[in-house]
Chain A
Amino acid sequence: MKGFAYLKNVATLELNREKCVGCGRCLEVCPHQVFSLAARTAAIEKKDACMECGACAKNCPVGAIAVDAGVGCASGMINEWLREHNIRGRSGEC
């Protein structure tokens, strides 16, 4: 996103180019222009721009994309941790 950049080398996005059928859906749904398409195969162009929203993985018809998508706010995550450790927390709201 122009003017904004978040931490480098943390995004969990992965693309299996063997599986890709070049439909272009991932380019259509990604709001950060992370992918490019050439010779009917997608490629990850700007991995650090990925916000892990999961739109590409959800919409890839052949399951070629994997990403750890989910709640991205600090309080939601604290609640998640509390729940994981079986400590009662208020339900996470973002």
Chain B
Amino acid sequence: MPGFEQWTQNGAGRVPKISTTLTMRDHLGACKARWGIDRMNYMVPPGLYAIGAPAPEDPVLVTANYKMSFDEVRRNLAGRNVWLLVLETFGINVWCAAGKGTFGTDELVRRIRLSGLARAVNHRHLILPILGAPGVAAHEVAKQTGFTVRYAAIRAADLPAYLDHGMKTTEAMRELTFTLYERLVLVPVELVTAARQSAVIMAVLGALFAFAGGWQAGLVAMAAYLGAMLAGVAAAPVLLPWLPGRSFAVKGTVIGILWGGAVTLLAHPSPLVTAALFVGLPAVSAFYALNFTGCTTFTSRSGVKKEMRIALPVMGAAVAVSLAMLAVSRLL
């Protein structure tokens, strides 16, 4: 298991003591996981862990068995004596697992029982991440196990301050942020996900255009599509706060139009092809930008539903019109 130092004996039996410093391998693994490589094997065995030399009165923190969550928590608890209860979330982070219900009441209750936590500690308090709350009903956990739940903070980085100040959550610890860095780290895995489907579309587009207008036309078509995809998958998330509108489809359209302009400047197409670019490319960007709502923590399900109901038919129509214009431009 990651960070293992030694076995310790206590009321709960044998509990592994883990280190609070991350190794080169931990960092490398995190980097790989962000690109979606080996993500599914990025798990930590669930159960009870010891950080430092925790006594029965020391606090119990709860996290998911996604290795990056686990690493982030232990790194921030350096120099402390605490218990860490890791739930089986199948390698998914706290926020997504809470949404799916795996970071949830049932698993927490089960893990408290299986780990023998009640024998390891003499108090009955658990400290949970705030983003785990959508899956856990605190009053249910209390009813079933006697352990009361405190939701500490959103970010693991706030845990030291929380523990040092008598377990008080400040307003800032409760408030979500979505910084440039936080947006940036989400992009790689989105790229990898989009790449497979895009490769197929690009191959078809390239073949069609190469057949109709020579290999250069094929290459230009592929590049134009690739750019529109990247505009939606990478540029839209990065530029999110500066793109106009509240709707992600609108934000994606805006950036797609900018890309359409760039392609026009570079490739000097005929007026009809230009029109086709300005109709088709923004639709592609808008689709990928809209997909990014799944990674954000401020878009509501009802909002995304509303956007999709309006945007999907428009995007479909735009792509169809764009292709029709391109076909006509070939015949003229």
Contacts and interface: CB of A to CB of B under 8 A. Distances in A.
Nearest to B131: A31
Contacts of A7: 246-247, 300, 303, 306-307
B21 to A, nearest CB: 29
B163 interface: no
B297 A59 contact: no
A68 B137 contact: no
B294 interface: yes
Interface string A39-83: 000000000011111110011010000001111111111100000
Nearest to A30: B174
Nearest to A27: B174
Interface string B133-177: 111111100000000000100100000000000000101001111
B293 A74 contact: yes
A68 B98 CA distance: 15
B151 A29 contact: yes
Interface string B280-301: 0000000100110111111111
Contacts of B302: 10-12, 52, 68
B139 A59 contact: yes
Contacts of A61: 138-139
Contacts of B139: 25, 59, 61
Nearest to B304: A72
Contacts of B269: none
B261 interface: no
B183 to A, nearest CB: 10
Contact of A5 (B136, B138, B246, B293): B246
A31 B307 contact: no
Report whether over half of chain B's contact residues are helix, strand or loop; otherwise say mixed.
helix
A2 interface: yes
Given A2-B177, A4-B240, A74 B308 contact: yes
A31 B176 contact: yes
A76 to B, nearest CB: 6
Given A5-B246, A31-B176, A54-B134, A73 B154 contact: no
Contacts of B151: 28-29
A47 to B, nearest CB: 10
Q: How large is the interface on B (under 10, 10 to 19, 20 to 34, 35 or more residues)?
A: 35 or more
A59 B133 contact: yes
B268 interface: no
Contacts of B226: none
| Residue among A8, A29, A71, A75 with most chain B CB within 10 A | A29
B52 interface: no
A1 B177 contact: yes
Interface in A1-21: 1-8, 10-12
B298 A32 contact: yes
Interface string B22-36: 000000000000000
Ranked 9 nearest A-B pairs via Cβ: A73-B294, A55-B133, A29-B133, A7-B303, A61-B139, A52-B300, A10-B302, A55-B134, A31-B176
12 contacts: A1-B298, A7-B247, A11-B303, A28-B130, A28-B169, A29-B133, A31-B130, A53-B134, A55-B134, A58-B137, A71-B99, A94-B295
Interface of B: 96, 98-99, 130-131, 133-139, 151, 154, 169, 171, 174-178, 240-241, 246-247, 287, 290-291, 293-308
Given A4-B241, A10-B306, A33-B175, 14 more contacts: A1-B175, A3-B178, A6-B298, A7-B300, A25-B139, A31-B176, A51-B299, A52-B300, A52-B302, A53-B133, A55-B134, A59-B139, A74-B308, A94-B96
